[in-house]
Structure formats: C-alpha cells, structure tokens
A and B are shown apart, each in its own frame.
Chain A
Amino acid sequence: MLTSNRRELMIGAAALFGSSLAAPLARAATAAQAGTPAGFTTSRALFTDEQRALVAALSEAIIPTTDTPGAIAAGVPGFMEMMLADWYEPTDRNEFMAGLGVVEGYARVRYGRPFAGLNPAAQDAILTLAMEKAIPGLSSRFFEHCRQMVILGYYSSEIGCKQERIYLPVPGRYDGAYPYAEVRRVFSS
C-alpha cells in the first residue's frame, strides 16, 4: 500500500511542479519499479567458480530467503566480488580471500564436501564456529568482515531497499512520531 502511495506522490509531484522536475523524479519513479540491474560493473573476475559458489552460499546463509528474497536474489555475491576486486586494499582483500580458503578447507575436512554443497544445518554450524572464532587458522575478523559486506550489499541493493525495507525516495513530509507498528520495517532512501 505504501508503495503505491509513494508512486502516486511522485507522479502527483511531477504534475504539480511542472516538467522541469521530470528528470530526477523520473529517475526515482523508475527506481520504484522492480527489476533494474545491480548498478555496477566489476573490472575483473576475482573468484574461481568454487569461490563464487562459496561466497554465494555464505551470503545466503547470513541473509537467507524468508518472506522476502535473500542475498543471492539481491545480487550480493556479485557485489562482494566487485568490492573485493575494485574497492578493497590488497591487504584486506588478501586476508578475506585467505579466509575463504580456510572456511572451504574446513568444510571439506569436516564434512567431506564443499561448503556450498552442505545442508543448511552444516553451513550454519560452520558459520557459528567462524563467529565464535573457533576455526583453526581463520582470521578472527573473518566472520564480522563477511557479515558486514553481506549486510552492506543486501541493504543497498534494489531488493534490499524496496522489498526488505520500505523505499521512500520522496517522502514529501517529516513525521517525527510515526508509529513503528504501522510498518514494522525500516525505511530506506
């Protein structure tokens, strides 16, 4: 319901304020429709196929599909590859890539299968150990690092902004005593 209100508000605003506002409002209105692409290009492939499958499984375990889409649907694995390839400093990138290797190695030794091939219970067990800093050889920062990247990628994605959160590109007003019970969600901008 809020979604259609927002769209009406933007369309109404464009009509009210004249065609000069069309460009920015059109951008916001377009964004209010689903299905635009991830919004970035990655300069180079960083992951092997195995690493790509691992990162996809890790991200979905951290933000799974529930009543809203999960990390894979939101394009988080591709976001993480882009950030690691194009944004990260080499030291941090190397530490993270090494951590991926340790997690994958642990899955293969403990369960005899790649992490991506494990059932959710086994994946959760490994992630819990990573969170508790109990996997030998794994950087104590790996879990937090991975979780932060998944959270950033998910909640800045179109799905994260519009389906998990409530996207308000043009609120039109400020209400500093809005009842949380009306939405039980977070607004995104």
Chain B
Amino acid sequence: MATYDFDAIVIGSGVSGGWAAKELCEKGMKVLMLERGRMVEHQTDYVTEGLGPWELPYRGTLPPAQVERDYRLAKWGGAANTAQTHFYSNDRLNPFDYEGSKPYRWVRPNQVGGKSLIWGRVSLRWSKIDFEANARDGHGSPWPISYDEIAPWYSYVEKYAGIAGSKEGLPQLPDGEFQPPHPLNVAELWAKERLEKAMPGRKLISTRTANMTEDKPEQGRTRCQSRSQCARGCSFGAYFSTQAVTLPAARATNNLTLLSDQVVTNLEYDPATKRVTGVRAIDTNTMQAKVYRSRIVFLCASTNASVQILLNSRLSGSTRSFADSSGTLGRYMMDHAFRTYTWGSVPQGELDPYIAYGRRPNGVYIPRFRNINGQDPDADFVRGYGLQGAASRNIAAPVGFGKAMKEGLRSYGPWTLRFTTFAECLPYRDNSLTLHPTKVDRFGVPLGVFDVTFRSNEMKLLRDSAIEGQKMLRAAGLVNVGSSSEEHVPGDAIHEMGGACMGNDPTASVVNRWSQAHDAPNLFITDGSQMASTSCVNPSMTFMALTARAADYAVKQVKANAI
C-alpha cells in the first residue's frame, strides 16, 4: 500500500488551482498546493493599492530599457505599469523559445493567485454552439461534454464567485447566476438603443464581469468601489481572485498546506500501475528539489506551464511523456486572435454635458452574431467573434501652452466607443509546444518551444469583425468611425488554451470527459490546457466550472476506491 504525504496535490494557485484547492479541501481532502511564484497575502501584500500617481515609481511607467530587459513579453499584459510590475514574471529569468519567424507571447504571473490577480475579469459562459463546434465543422477533436452537463457547474461557480451581468436570453451567450449588471454610461445607452433598432439581432450589453455589484458579507467581500485599480489587488475583495475567494475558503477547512516559491519540474509516473506517484518541485530560494507524494494530482499550472510539465514527465529511458500515448500532447495550442480595433464617436451635441463619475471595472460587449444558426451564407469562415469595449471621453488634447492650454485640459473630447475583437482560434494539430532538445532554464527544465500561428480562418474572422464593427457603429449613428489592426501574435490575448485536449478517444486526446488523464487516472488536468477549442468568449468561467466538476468526480472516485 502506497503512503502519501497528502490526499491531493494541486499544482498552481490561479483561477483553476484555487478552485481545485477549495473544492478538494471542502470535501475533506488534505491538500498541498504548490505555486512557483512568491507569496502574496490578501490585502497586506497589495503594496501599490491606494497609491496616487505621484507615489508610483516613475509616475507609473517603467523605463523602456528595463521593460525590454526584463518584461519584453509581460509588457503585453501590463507589466510596464509600475503599479503592477511586481505581479509579473521576469522574462529574462524565465525564457522560452519559438520556431524561427513565428513569435509567441507568453505573459506569466509571478505569485500565489497567478493571473487571478491581474485578469480582465470578463465572465462568460460557453454555449451549446461552442461545445458542438468541433464535431460540427470537423476541426480538432469533438468535445465529449455538452453545455447542459456543464451548466449546473457554471451556476455553482458563478454564485460563489459573484458575477455581475444582465440576462439577455441569447443562445450564443447563455445567462447565468448574476448579480445586477454594472450600468452602461450615457453614450453606451445611446449607442445600444440605436444599434439594436438599426440591426436586429445585434446586442450591446454590459460586460459580464467578476466584479461584484452586491456585497458578500459571508465571504468578507464588498462590492466594487469603482476605483479601477483591480490589477493592484483589491482589499475589498470585490473581484474574483484566489486571494479573495478560493484561498480563504480552502484555508478555512484547515486541510490546506500552501507552499509558494516551488517550481514543479515534472511528475513521476509508474507505468505498471499507470499512476502519477510524485510531484517534483524545486524551491526557488534554496534550489533544492523535493518529491511530494499524494493519491491524486490536479495540474493547474496554466495552459503552457502544465503542458511543459507534462512534456517533461518522461517515461524511463525515453523522451516521450507518459501522458502522450495519444501523440497529441503539446498539440492544438490555441489563443484568441486579437488586436483588431474599431471605434466611433457620438456626434457633438446632446451628450456633451455628461461625463463619468467613478471608474467602472468593466465595459460593454457585443456578443457573437456570426454563424449562429448554422453557416452564414456570406461568411467564408467558420465560427465567430465578440467585440469588447467601452465608451469614454478622453481629456481634451492640449492646444498651445500656458493658461489657455491649462484651462483647455479641464475639458473633455467627444464620447468615443472603442472595441477590441476577440476571435475564435481553430485547433490545429501542428500548432505545437515542444521541449527544446538542448536548452534548459535555471531549474533544469527544457525550454518550451512554441510553433503556433494564426491561419486563414482567424484572419478572416478578424477582417470580418472590422467590417461588421464599422457597419454597426455607423448604423448606430456614430461618426469618425474607423478600424485598425496590429500584429496578431499568439499568446497575446492571454487566453492560451489546448495542448492536453479533452476527448473520448484516448488515441486522439489527453484527458477524458472528467478532465482525467487517459494515461493516469489519478491525474486531473483542469486548466486551459484541457480545452479542445477556444469559443470566442473569455475562458476563465469554463476553467472554474470544469475544475469544480473534476474535483467532485475525483473525490467520488477516491471514496469509491476507484483511483
């Protein structure tokens, strides 16, 4: 009989890891959570919270030379902002590689809580259309689960996390368990009314967000105070983070051991019993390696890191991972296609007297409208995209100098509505993450090598979004409508998914319908790496729902002595 240090080990403490720890602890399991980053305690370690711009290093922007040296990738996630630099991984110390001319952006956090402290907080459900997409158009491996199966788990995590949103009755964006939505501003209401009248079927709604509009006193959390300092950490606990939500719940059980500064290098595996037998971690302070043992393991290190750990968990005498009997581990790497923008201004006049008081934590959303009822006849692409944005008024541009300029800077420019496209990315077998044959990082782990590109379908989606986006803004009566695109680099949307995809067929997927590894029934992979497609909506709620569901299943299996 094997002896274990813990009932379960959770690798990673972000959105998925936090939920895994909470659920497993609450079901009575003794849990060890390993996090590669440093410790950040709720409230006390939010060191820049409440500081004015004059109190931030360099008034808020890191010197360009330092950004290029240490945060050349993390800058795409906001690391150049000195209010939040400390929440990002140093890219110089944590390198990876990419194939030739195919750049990749991997924006990594560096603390307990992972990206849950710095995420965009957009909280959307996937729909029936999304879960059926692979089977319908033949890309990637078919999802083995349906929306109806996952819906109760969405409800479960939404209720606890606290999601603000409006019920809309849209099949492509299912309603959930919502607190009241954050309000639209006067310009967004103006545009909504005109757009929805001019183009039936198009909707402009308050973005569903994990910033609460009602208190949760039972969790010690207070509704959003409209500071818009979320990425510094929120002592009100107003938005979902590991620190504010799942970690306190896990700790309250007295079943949790949390170790920060632990880089997991690989999993140990026994081919005879087909079980993961240990988790090897290096303490980043002492550089000592240690193997921790548990009955089950939840791998929630983030999409790319989880795939890297799995790839580095090799069968004895082989370069092949134990988890790769399907030959699909590290394949179908995806991210939302990103960086196409659309904008337009409200004509001068009736809305000029109004400005915004306070800083709302969310914006507005135009849900997917393409290829909803089968293939649109005029679409030369499959699947769809959503537009995320907000209306705001910039401070007036400076004119001249002196007293008149200073006076002018007390006023505002026009209300302008700006959108960013998030387009679905198809699963391509040859979009891959592999391990470098020779280069290793400071922990001895072979560097990840990304060979990931967006293809024709993603480019067509983005182009269509620019055309349709402008059409909608003009139809709504906005003026000075325009659109632009920047380089589309995978990883940039920080919605990485895939690499250990879910499927029924063990020869074509890495995990089964319960996020359980086909090759090791005591291993559950519940972060973005299990995703077999990307939908066009933000993925975090789905990671939460699938993680809670997998934890429920895993504990039942343990209790039944099945694993």
Contact = CB atoms under 8 A, between A and B. Distances in A.
Contact of A31 (B55, B354, B412): B55
A153 B59 contact: yes
B410 A184 contact: yes
Contact of B53 (A36, A124, A156, A177): A156
A127 B400 CA distance: 9
Interface in B331-353: 352-353
Given A20-B43, A62-B405, A161-B53, A173 B358 contact: yes
Interface string A164-189: 10011111111111111101111111
Nearest to B402: A64
Nearest to B407: A66
A40 to B, nearest CB: 7
A176 B227 CA distance: 14
B235 A174 contact: no
A61 B54 contact: no
Interface in A130-171: 131, 147, 151-153, 155-158, 161, 164, 167-171
A176 B360 contact: yes
Given A169-B227, A174-B226, A64 B406 contact: yes
Nearest to A66: B403
B58 A40 contact: yes
Contacts of A173: 225-226, 357-358
Given A83-B58, A131-B400, A178-B355, A172 B43 contact: no
Given A147-B401, A156-B60, A173-B357, A24 B50 contact: yes
Contact of A151 (B58, B186, B236, B398): B398
B185 A176 contact: yes
B183 A176 contact: yes
Contacts of B185: 174, 176-177
Contacts of A153: 59
Given A156-B59, A176-B185, A186 B43 contact: no
Which of B43, B54, B353, B354 gathers most chain A CB within 10 Å? B54
Contacts of A44: none
Nearest to B356: A176
Nearest to B222: A17
Contacts of B222: 17
Interface residues of B, number: 58
Contacts of A100: none
Given A161-B52, A161-B53, A23 B402 contact: no
Interface residues of A, number: 62
B80 to A, nearest CB: 12
Interface in B34-69: 43-44, 46, 49-61, 63-65
Given A66-B406, A178-B354, A184-B410, A27 B401 contact: no
Contacts of A127: 401
Given A171-B357, A176-B183, A23 B228 contact: no
Contacts, number: 170
A188 B225 CA distance: 15
B493 to A, nearest CB: 26
Interface in B144-159: none
B401 A131 contact: yes
A20 B354 CA distance: 36
B203 interface: no
Given A24-B49, A66-B406, A151-B398, A156 B54 contact: yes
A39 B54 contact: yes
A27 B354 contact: no
B395 A179 contact: no
Interface of A: 13, 17, 20-21, 23-28, 31, 36, 38-40, 61-64, 66, 79, 82-83, 86-89, 124, 127, 131, 147, 151-153, 155-158, 161, 164, 167-181, 183-189
Given A24-B43, A187-B356, 20 more contacts: A23-B44, A23-B50, A24-B235, A31-B55, A62-B402, A63-B405, A64-B402, A66-B403, A157-B53, A169-B52, A174-B182, A174-B356, A174-B357, A176-B183, A176-B188, A178-B354, A178-B356, A181-B353, A184-B410, A186-B410
23 contacts: A17-B222, A17-B236, A20-B43, A23-B235, A28-B50, A31-B50, A31-B52, A61-B402, A63-B406, A66-B406, A127-B401, A147-B401, A156-B59, A157-B54, A164-B406, A169-B227, A174-B185, A174-B226, A174-B360, A175-B358, A179-B355, A180-B411, A184-B410
User: Which 5 A-B pairs rank lowest in CB-CB distance, beginning with the nearest?
Assistant: A176-B185, A171-B358, A27-B50, A178-B357, A28-B50
